[in-house]
Structure 1
Amino acid sequence: MESRDQTQTEGVLGQPRFTSAFPPRDTAVGGYLEPIRAGGAVLWRDGGGAEPEIVLIRRPDRDDWTLPKGKLKNGEHLITGAVREVREETGLIPVLGRRLPPQRYLKDGWPKQVEWWAATPAEPGGAIDYVPNEEVDVVEWVPMKDALARLTYEHDVHVLDNFRAGPAETFPVIVLRHLSAGEKRAWRDNDLLRPLDEAGRADALALPRVLASYGRPRAVSSAAARCTESLLPYSVESDVPVRTERAFTVRGAGRGESPEFDVEAAREAFEGVLSEGRPTVVCTHGELVPHLMREALDRLGAPVSQQLGLRKGSFWVVHVAAGGVLAGVERHAIRG
C-alpha cells in the first residue's frame, strides 16, 4: 500500500485537483484480478474557516491516519455498505452527498477499489461520541490543511483533492423507476391500480435503508399504485408523506392500450423539483425517466448520455450544488 512521508506536503496546499483513480500497476501482468470492494466517505463540517474540517481516524495496529472506509460484505449494497463502515469507524451517521472518483491501489498484492462520497454527519455539529477499540482508537475532526499533512497514504490525499475540487454542499434529487409490478398483460383491471408483485414488495422493504443514506428526502410519486406502493415502506419508516403528481403519471398502459403521458408537463414539474433545492425522491415510470433526466441535464448544462433509461427498481441520483450547478450523477439498483 502506498504511503507517504507525514511531512511531505508538496502540492497538497495548492489548488485542488482531480487525480487518477486507476494507477497503472493495479493488476496482474496480462490478466485481471477482481478488486476487493470497499466504501467510505469524506465526512466534513463547517470549521468556521476558508475550508471545512474533515474526520480522520487512527488505527493503532497500523499506526496510521486515514479516512473512514471498509470492505463491503458479501451481497451488501454499495451505498449502505459505505454508510455502515463509516458509522462503525467513527460513531457518526453519514448523510451522503456527491460521489467522488474511486481510488484503486494494491492491498497485499491484490487490487482494492474504494468507492467514495462526500458526506455530512446526520446530527448537527457532528459531536464525536466514540468508544476507542483495537481497530480505531482515535476519531478526530481536523482542519483540511492539517488533514492533508497528517494522512499516511497518498491515495487518501487524492480523495481529499477530489473533494476539494468540487462543491462540498449539495442536495440530491433521486429519480426512481417503480419496482416490479408483474406482467401488465395479465392485469385485467385499470392499469393505474396494478400493484407490486412479490419481487417488487421485497425491494420496497429494502428501499428505506438505501434512501436513508441520503437523509430524509421528501417523496413525490406518480399516482399509479405501483409507484405509491414502491415508496410506502419508506414513507412509513421515515415519516415522510408521499405527494402524488399527475404529471409524473403514465395512464392507459394496460392490455391493448397505448400509454398516455405528457412529456412537457412532466419536465416542467421536474424543473420545479430541481428549483426548490430540497432533497427529493421522485418515483415514476420507465416512459418518463429519460425525459426527466434530460430535463435535469439540460437545465444544469451537462452532456446528455445515450442511456438515460432505468430498469425497474433502479434509480438515478442527481447531485446539485448552489446556483444550480451539477455536482454529480450516479445510478444504482435497489438490490445493489
Structure 2
Amino acid sequence: MPDILAAGVVVFRPGREVLLVHRPKYDDWSFPKGKLDRGEHPTAAAVREVAEETGVHVRLGPRLPSQRYPVARRMKTVHYWTGRVVGDDDVTAYRPNDEIDAVAWVPVDEASARLSYGYDRETLAAALRVRRRTHAVVVLRHAQARSRSAWHGPDAGRPLLKVGELEADRLVPLLAAYDVTRIVTSTSTRCVQTVRPYAETAGYSLDLRPRLSEENATAKAVENIVEDLLATEAGSVVCTHRPVLCHVYEALGIELAPDEGLAPAELLVLHVRKGRVVAVERHRPR
C-alpha cells in the first residue's frame, strides 16, 4: 500500500528554543505534524498543522530529510522543514484537547532528551545545522498559457489556459508557506495572472517589471532585480518566462541543466542568509 503522507515543522525562536507538542493518546513529545489532506501540498500541510496543533503561524525555512517508519501494516513518510514564527510566538493561551494537551518552547539543549523517538532526535540534529534565520526568494515560471499559434494578439497579452488558472490558484498556499510579501512579476498577462490570486488573497500589490518580460529582458536588468531581492530580508517571488530564467539563474549563481528547467507553474525556492543562497528546493502545485 502507498505510504501515509504527513508533514511537520521544526520551529525555532530566538533564545535557542524549539517548539514541541505532547500527545496524550501516545504520551509522547514530538514536533507539530499531521497528515496531508487530499490534494494538499506538503508545504501547505506543514504550515497548517503547526497552526492547528499550537496556534502559532510559521513560515518555512530549509527543507529537512524526511522520516519514514512503519505504522501498523503500512509505512508513513513525514516531510519536514525548519520554521520561524510569523507574528506572536506566545503559546501560554493554548487550550489542551484530546489530540494535543501541551505545547512548549523547549531549550534546544533539553529538547533531545524530551523527544520520545530516535528519528525525531535525528531530525532535530539536522535542523540545528540549518536553523539560522533565512528568507525565501522564489523563482516562478508562469502557469500554462495559450500557445503562440493559437493566439493572434500581441504575445505579451497571451493569457493562461483554464488549467493554468487552476495552477495559479494552487500556488497560493505554496507561496504563503514561505511568507512571500513581495511579488515581482513580468508585465506579460500570463505572468500577472499567475501571481494575481496570491496577491489578492494575501493582500499584497504586484511589482510590475517590464524588464522581466521576454521582449524587454536583458542580463543586466535581471541581475539588478535579483540582487535587490537577495538583499531585501523578506520573502519574495519573481515570476517570469522560460527564456528569461537563464538570466535569473546566472544572477543567482546557480546552474540547471537544460532538462532540469522549471516546468510551467513550477517554483524554485532559494533560502537566503545575508545575501547568500544556503539551500534550494523546488515544488509544483498539486
TM-score normalised to structure 1 length:
0.79
Residue number among 11, 15, 20 corresponding to 1:43 in the alignment: 11
Residue number among 254, 277, 281 corresponding to 2:237 in the alignment: 281
Aligned to 1:321: 273
* Matched AA of 2:178: Y
Change (3 A) 1:221 1:43: same
Q: How far 1:284 sits from its partner (Å)?
A: 0.3
Give the 3-state SS of the residue equivalent to 1:287 in structure 2: helix
CA distance in 2, matches of 1:328, 1:128: 33
Q: Which moved more, 1:130-139 or 1:195-204?
A: 195-204
Q: How many residues align?
A: 285
Aligned to 2:113: 149
User: Quick check: which one's strand share is greater?
Assistant: 2
Give the 3-state SS of the residue equivalent to 2:243 in structure 1: coil
CA distance in 2, matches of 1:148, 1:80: 26
Tell me, yes or no, if the aligned pair for 1:167 and 1:327 is still in contact at 8 Å. no
Tell me, yes or no, if the aligned pair for 2:222 and 2:251 is still in contact at 8 Å. no
Q: How far 1:82 sits from its partner (Å)?
A: 1.3
Change (3 A) 1:82 1:125: closer
Tell me, yes or no, if the aligned pair for 1:57 and 1:67 is still in contact at 8 Å. yes
Aligned to 2:206: 242
Q: How far 1:137 sits from its partner (Å)?
A: 0.5
1:119 aligns with 2:87: no
Give the 3-state SS of the residue equivalent to 1:145 in structure 2: helix
Q: Which moved more, 1:275-284 or 1:174-183?
A: 275-284
Q: How far 1:272 sits from its partner (Å)?
A: 2.8
CA distance in 1, matches of 2:90, 2:273: 21
Structure 1, unmatched stretches of 5+, are: 1-32, 252-259, 299-303
CA distance in 1, matches of 2:94, 2:266: 35
Give the 3-state SS of the residue equivalent to 2:227 in structure 1: helix
Tell me, yes or no, if the aligned pair for 2:7 and 2:42 is still in contact at 8 Å. yes
Displaced runs of 4 or more, over 4 A: none
Q: How far 1:116 sits from its partner (Å)?
A: 0.7
Q: How does 1:42-191 map to 2 (within 5 A)?
A: 42-47=10-15, 52-191=16-155
* Matched AA of 2:8: G
Tell me, yes or no, if the aligned pair for 1:179 and 1:230 is still in contact at 8 Å. yes
Q: How far 1:297 sits from its partner (Å)?
A: 3.4
Q: How far 1:283 sits from its partner (Å)?
A: 0.5
Q: Which moved more, 1:34-43 or 1:122-131?
A: 122-131
Change (3 A) 1:232 1:161: same
After superposition, the C-alpha distances for 1:277-335 in whole angstroms (9 at most, x for unaligned) are: 3311000001122431343234xxxxx3425411111111000113x332211111122
Change (3 A) 1:310 1:157: same
After superposition, the C-alpha distances for 1:159-185 in whole angstroms (9 at most, x for unaligned) are: 110111124200000011111212221
Aligned to 1:5: none
CA distance in 2, matches of 1:250, 1:124: 42
The CA RMSD measured in Å over matched residues stands at 1.8
Residue number among 183, 188, 207 corresponding to 1:219 in the alignment: 183
Give the 3-state SS of the residue equivalent to 1:240 in structure 2: coil
* Matched AA of 2:244: L
1:192 aligns with 2:156: yes
Aligned to 1:296: 252
CA distance in 2, matches of 1:151, 1:72: 23
Bigger Rg, which one: 1
Structure 2, unmatched stretches of 5+, are: none
Q: How far 1:128 sits from its partner (Å)?
A: 4.4
Tell me, yes or no, if the aligned pair for 1:100 and 1:159 is still in contact at 8 Å. yes
* Matched AA of 1:36: I
Tell me, yes or no, if the aligned pair for 1:90 and 1:128 is still in contact at 8 Å. no
Aligned to 2:282: 331
* Matched AA of 1:329: V
User: Quick check: which one's helix share is greater?
Assistant: 2
* Matched AA of 1:143: P
Tell me, yes or no, if the aligned pair for 1:55 and 1:141 is still in contact at 8 Å. yes
After superposition, the C-alpha distances for 1:249-284 in whole angstroms (9 at most, x for unaligned) are: 102xxxxxxxx7423432342233223333110000
